[in-house]
Amino acid sequence: MLQVLANGLALAAAYALVALGFVLVANAANAVNFAQGDLVMAGGFVAVALSRLWPVPGIVLLPAVLAVMAVLGLALSAIAYFPLRGRPATAIFVSTIAVGLMLENGANAIFGAEPQAGPPLLPGAAIALGPVSLSRQSIAVIVTAAVLILALEFLFARLRFGWRLRATAQDREMAASIGIDVTWMIAFSFALGAALGGAAGLLLANSFFVTPTDGINYMLKAYIAVVIGGWGSIRGAVAGALLIALFEVVYPSLPLLVPALPVSWLFTETTATIILYGVVLAVLLLRPRGLFGEAVLRRA
Amino acid sequence: MRAVIFCAALAALGMATPLAAAEVSIPVLVPITGFLSLEGTSQRNGAMLAIRNAPAGLNVRADVADTGTAPDVAVNALERALGRDAPTAIVASMLGTQVLAMLPIALEHKVPLLTVSGTASVTEKGNPYVFRFFPGDAITKVAHVRYAAEILKAKRLALIAQTTEYGQSGRAAIEAIAAKLGLEIVYEESVDVQLRDLSPVLGKVRAAKPDVLLLHLHAGPTALAIRQAAAMNLDIPIVAGSALHQPTTAALLEPAELRGVCAETNASPVSGGSPEMERFLQQYREQFKSEPDGYALGQYDGVMMALQAAAQGAATPAALTAALSSGTYRGLAMTYKSDGKGNMAHSAIIVCYDGRSRVPTVAKRYDDIDGVLAR
């Protein structure tokens, strides 16, 4: 059962990176980036491609994946955001949908439609903890994602550059008036968001494979995490991702964890999904700012 | 004298002039993008290879169009193909929902559809213009369950199926066949194609203590299930659906993860087995730089049957439909014959992996499961 919990945490960690990337762009640009899911997919394929050129563990490839995806994020901001800045928000989310479709079809054209397996973060057998053995990959995903999230916290809490990013996210006009280059801050937010999405893609590509059509699924996860956790809240995004993983992995496993519970339709993946979306609706109705969010702003 | 020379010259000219080749048009409308694009690409490749090997005396035109995943896209592709020229037959998408949407149009235009869709309902609509060259659930699931019962000696089964039309039609067939054979399904669950972590489902399977686990999933989820089962040391024999036999699915897994895993399918070209199969394998690899699967071979056989019939004079849609409805064709995968509803394939095989390579061996053959060939 420890493995079930480890699997759930690993999935939550990867989903948190996706959601964080989504929140960063939403905060900085006040725009919904519907290509975030496809950026996760792109990150997975970047990892696949790099591992073919350089067959090393995924952890060694991580900096390169982050760098490539950051460049892709800058390109995304140049194509889908800056030219439409000042237009209605719907224009930007439509443009990001278009870019997402371009990424999907591009991946299909380059890599084909079949699932591909990314490199393991740390190859090797399961790690024995007494009578229990835990997947090395699950543990590596949890640790890697935790390090990235902590690095992000450090950036925003301790570094001047991070303060500038936060200032831009909180009030762009005020940030510009005190000399912050808001345009570069927004571009960097896109780069950082894409890098986090790409990292999630690398983390997920070995255990769960990557296909060109994965984007919409990850986009949905990011959106739900942010709705539940709260728009604009980094901690909320992490909490929302944790909740999604709990429903995906732990809820269907409850009859195994609690023997008194019946193994029935009530604890299937399908039921878990229905309940999760019920929670989303409840949050929207009863606490639209989300669990950790600030007062609701106008969002696309 | 001059008249004799003139007639002799005319006769010589007639002998030197070749007979005009019969014109045949077979548009290929298959999913090249979307979640079924892997299988759709196999369909396309099989069809195009058959067209390349068309019998002498045929001039075959084949335009390829992507049907994606939505039924309306397939319908639009079909209507464009029908409007552009007069197709003799259509290679139709293997996605069940798309074929079902194409059926009324095929009926209206009286053009035969050649498909490898495994969805049962495709040939249950009373439409005389659909010809399925892949054994349907009524055939493959018999092999699937019988192998578990007869060879693996299973009495208790677990079943994981997909929530798609494909998954649910297979699930219904497995349940019915298991009941008929007196087997108990001790655990079953249907899962979404996007589900990543199957360990909760596999944990519940283990808790139910089945003798065999049957999988009826698409390619990616099949690989995920087998990988995660190996990681969990599930230690229950697994017999998967036809998705596993695809070389691209097996390529996702380490050979050790495949040890003892079997799968049902119509054919496994990579397993070889005859000079004709080896020749097909070589041609396919040369032309498409990839490994063929059973869908490619089934589509190849289907198109070859149509082309053979056309070469023998059935070069119109009506004549071809009649020929496909009444004829028998010995293909590379099996012998094909219509059961009156358009089901042409009546045999299946079980392939198994030994844990040392990703190329399976044929463990068991089930020929003419429904007795159509014997009639």
Residue A251 in domain: no
Subunit contact A117:B201, Cβ cutoff 8 A: no
Q: Do B357 and B224 fall within a single domain?
A: yes
Give the burial class of B124: count Cβ atoms within 10 A of its Cβ; 0-12 exposed, 13-18 middle, 19 or more buried.
middle
Test mutation, B41, B195, B197, B232, chain A, max A CBs within 10 A: B197
Q: What is the largest CA-CA distance in chain A?
A: 62
> Is the per-residue pLDDT at A127 higher than 70?
yes
Residue B251 in domain: yes
A51 at B interface, C-beta within 8 A: no
Using an 8 Å CB-CB cutoff, list chain A residues near B37.
108, 112-113
How far apart CA B220 and CA B217 sit, in angstroms, is 8
Q: Which domain holds residue B234?
A: 138-265+349-366
Our count of domains for chain B comes to 2
How far apart CA B272 and CA B261 sit, in angstroms, is 19
Q: Tell me the per-residue pLDDT of B161-176, one tens digit each, with 9 for 90 and over.
A: 999 888 998 999 999 9
pLDDT for residue B10: 46
Test mutation, A41, A110, A114, chain B, max B CBs within 10 A: A114
**Buried b / exposed e across A183-200, counting CB within 10 Å, b at 16+?**
eebbbbbbbbbbbbbbbb
Q: Do B171 and B229 fall within a single domain?
A: yes
Q: Tell me the per-residue pLDDT of B86-140, one tens digit each, with 9 for 90 and over.
A: 999 999 999 989 999 999 999 999 999 999 998 888 999 999 999 999 998 889 9
Residues of B near A (CB-CB distance < 8 A)? 32-35, 37-38, 40-41, 163, 187, 189-192, 194-197, 199-201, 203-204, 207-208, 219-220, 223-224, 227, 231-232, 248-249, 252
Q: Do B85 and B45 fall within a single domain?
A: yes
**Which of these, A13, A26, A4, A20, lies nearest to A300 by C-alpha position?**
A26
Q: Do B362 and B232 fall within a single domain?
A: yes
Residue B7 in domain: no
A268 at B interface, C-beta within 8 A: yes
User: Nearest chain A Cα to B69, which residue?
Assistant: A213
Q: Tell me the per-residue pLDDT of A176-211, one tens digit each, with 9 for 90 and over.
A: 888 889 899 999 999 999 999 999 999 999 989 999
pLDDT for residue A171: 85
Residue A43 in domain: yes
Subunit contact B38:A213, Cβ cutoff 8 A: no
How far apart CA A23 and CA A54 sit, in angstroms, is 32
Residue A189 in domain: yes
Subunit contact B203:A11, Cβ cutoff 8 A: no
Nearest CB to A114; choose among B38, B187, B232: B38
Structure tokens at A245: 């993983």
**Which of these, B55, B35, B181, B132, lies nearest to A213 by C-alpha position?**
B35
pTM of the model: 0.84
Q: Do B218 and B118 fall within a single domain?
A: no
Let me know: does B25 contact B61? Beta carbons within 8 Å: yes
Residue A22 in domain: yes
- Residue B192 burial (CB count, 10 A): 15
Q: Do B228 and B151 fall within a single domain?
A: yes
CATH of the domain at B40: 3.40.50.2300
Residue B288 in domain: yes
Q: Do B261 and B172 fall within a single domain?
A: yes
Subunit contact A256:B224, Cβ cutoff 8 A: no
> Is the per-residue pLDDT at A39 higher than 80?
yes
A38 at B interface, C-beta within 8 A: no
How far apart CA A193 and CA A66 sit, in angstroms, is 10
pLDDT for residue B3: 47
Nearest CB to B200; choose among A204, A214, A253: A253
> Is the per-residue pLDDT at B15 higher than 50?
no
Let me know: does B98 contact B65? Beta carbons within 8 Å: no
Q: Which domain holds residue A158?
A: 2-212
A110 at B interface, C-beta within 8 A: no
Mean predicted confidence (pLDDT) in B226-236: 91
A255 at B interface, C-beta within 8 A: yes
Using an 8 Å CB-CB cutoff, list chain A residues near B223.
115, 209
Give the burial class of A166: count Cβ atoms within 10 A of its Cβ; 0-12 exposed, 13-18 middle, 19 or more buried.
middle
Q: Strand B238-240's sheet: what is its strand order?
A: B184-191, B156-162, B212-216, B238-240, B262-265, B348-352, B361-366
User: Nearest chain B Cα to A269, which residue?
Assistant: B191
CA distances from A13 to A185, A299, B232 (A): 26, 26, 21
Q: Do B356 and B219 fall within a single domain?
A: yes
Q: Do B198 and B284 fall within a single domain?
A: no
User: Nearest chain B Cα to A215, which residue?
Assistant: B194
Q: Give the number of beta-carbon pairs within 8 Å between A and B.
A: 91
Our count of domains for chain A comes to 1
Confidence category of residue A126, pLDDT binned at 50, 70, 90: confident
- Residue A78 burial (CB count, 10 A): 12
Residue A126 in domain: yes
Residue B2 in domain: no
Least trusted range by pLDDT, from A119-133, B245-259, B321-335: A119-133
Residue linked to tokens 């035969």: B112
Residue B1 in domain: no
> Is the per-residue pLDDT at B16 higher than 80?
no
A138 at B interface, C-beta within 8 A: no
| Global ipTM | 0.84
Let me know: does B191 contact B221? Beta carbons within 8 Å: yes
Q: How far is A81 from chain B (nearest CA, A)?
A: 27
Residue A253 in domain: no
Let me know: does B188 contact B213? Beta carbons within 8 Å: no
Using an 8 Å CB-CB cutoff, list chain B residues near A209.
220, 223-224, 252
Q: Do B143 and B238 fall within a single domain?
A: yes
3-state secondary structure at position B341: coil
Confidence category of residue B7, pLDDT binned at 50, 70, 90: very low
Subunit contact B33:A113, Cβ cutoff 8 A: yes
Structure tokens at B232: 């969990």
Local structure of residue B361 (DSSP, 8 states): E
3-state secondary structure at position B375: coil
pLDDT for residue A77: 93
Q: Do B121 and B257 fall within a single domain?
A: no
Residue B15 in domain: no
Q: Do B233 and B101 fall within a single domain?
A: no
pLDDT above 70 as % of chain B = 94
Q: Tell me the per-residue pLDDT of A285-300, one tens digit each, with 9 for 90 and over.
A: 988 888 877 644 444 4
